[in-house]
Amino acid sequence: MSNRSLIIMVLVLVGATAYLLIKGDGDIDMGGEKHGAEAAHMEEAKKAAAPAAPVAAPAAPAAPAADAKK
């Protein structure tokens, strides 16, 4: 491959990547690890996004078999 075709291929890939990142509605945060107010905000968002799971009732103990060793 010639240098020209490599440069064109790289530019096309960069353009496609930029298009997908701009058009995608994902919230991309490249800021790294958060501390302080940002971290508390993210924890609240995670709790709000988690669906409420129904609480399972504890299982009743099995009734002992009446005279099982007869």
Per-residue model confidence as pLDDT tens digits over 33-44: 877 776 666 666
Give the DSSP letter string of 5-67.
Answer: HHHHHHHHHHHHHHHHHHHS------S-S--THHHHHHHHHHHHHSPPPPPPPPPPPPPPPTT
Which one has a higher pLDDT value, 11 or 66? 11
Q: What is the pTM of this model?
A: 0.37
Per-residue model confidence as pLDDT tens digits over 18-62: 998 888 877 777 788 877 776 666 666 677 776 655 556 566 666
Confidence of residue 63 (pLDDT cuts 50, 70, 90): low
pLDDT at 17 over 70: yes
